[in-house]
Chains A and B, each alone.
Chain A
Amino acid sequence: EAEVAQSPRYKITEKSQAVAFWCDPISGHATLYWYRQILGQGPELLVQFQDESVVDDSQLPKDRFSAERLKGVDSTLKIQPAELGDSAMYLCASSLDPGRSYNEQFFGPGTRLTVL
C-alpha cells in the first residue's frame, strides 16, 4: 500500500541551528501539505502545494520557515534559525486530484522536532 514517507522521524537540535525535513508523497498525488502539530493540539496547516506551486502559505512564519517542491514531487521544509517554540511534530500529507472539492488527505508518520 502506498504511503507518504517522511524523514527523519526524530530530530533534536539546538536553538539557532538550521533543520530540514523531507517528505515524499504518494506517487501521483498533486497536492502536498505540511502541518505543524504542537503537543496537545491538533495539526495546523503551514503550507500547501499544488504540483510545484505554493497555493497557501498564509500560516507559514516566513522569517524563518521555507518550503519547496521543486519538481512537484517530494518536498523539503526548512527552519532557520530554529527556536524553542518550534518543538513540535511536523506532518506531511498528500492528496490526489486538484480539480475536486474534496480529496482525502493521506498523512505521513511525521517528524518529531525537539529544540534545546
Chain B
Amino acid sequence: AQSVTQPDIHITVSEGASLELRCNYSYGATPYLFWYVQSPGQGLQLLLKYFSGDTLVQGIKGFEAEFKRSQSSFNLRKPSVHWSDAAEYFCAVHSNTGNQFYFGTGTSLTVIP
C-alpha cells in the first residue's frame, strides 16, 4: 500500500538559513511525488511535483526537491528561507489508479528572525 512518512513534525530555522524537509515514501511502482504548502487556515498549494526524468525538480517560491529512488526519498529544500515560508508542508504520493493522493502527516515550519 502507498504511504508517506514525514519524520519531522516541527522544524525551526532562522530567516536566511537553508531548509531541508524530509519525505520518505512507500509505493510499488514508479511514484508520482508532490510537495504542498498550507498556510494557516488555508487550503493546499502545490509547490512542485515529480513524475519522471530529471531527479531534481524546481518549484515555486524558490523550492526544489530531489527524488532518490535508492533511499525512497523526496526531500524538499530551499537555500534561503523567508519569514513568509512559515507554514505546514505536506509530501504526497499519487496513485495513478483513481487519481488519489496519499499525504504525509506534515511538517510545521517556523521561521525566526
* One of A60-68, A72-80, A97-105 contacting the partner: A97-105
Partner of A95, one of B42, B51, B99: B99
CB–CB A40/B43 < 8 A:
no
Q: By the criterion of a CB under 8 Å from any partner CB, how many residues of chain A are at the interface? A: 26
Number of A-B contacts (CB under 8 A): 58
Residue of A nearest to B94 (CB): A102
CB–CB B103/A44 < 8 A:
yes
Q: How far is the CA of A31 from the CA of B100 in the complex (A)?
A: 11
Residue of A nearest to B39 (CB): A109
Contact partners of A25 in chain B: CB under 8 A = none
Q: By the criterion of a CB under 8 Å from any partner CB, how many residues of chain B are at the interface? A: 24
Contact partners of B103 in chain A: CB under 8 A = 42-44
CB–CB A109/B42 < 8 A:
yes
Q: How far is the CA of A42 from the CA of B36 in the complex (A)?
A: 11
Contact partners of A40 in chain B: CB under 8 A = 9, 105-106
Given contacts A95-B99, A102-B94, A103-B99, contact A41 B43 (CB under 8 A): no
CB–CB B43/A102 < 8 A:
no
A residues neighboring B (CB under 8 Å) = 4, 9, 31, 40-45, 48, 55-56, 91, 93, 95, 98, 101-105, 107-110, 112
B residues neighboring A (CB under 8 Å) = 4, 9, 32, 36, 41-46, 49, 51, 90, 92, 94, 96, 98-101, 103-106
8 A-B pairs closest in CB distance:
A42-B103, A107-B43, A107-B44, A101-B96, A109-B43, A108-B43, A43-B103, A41-B105
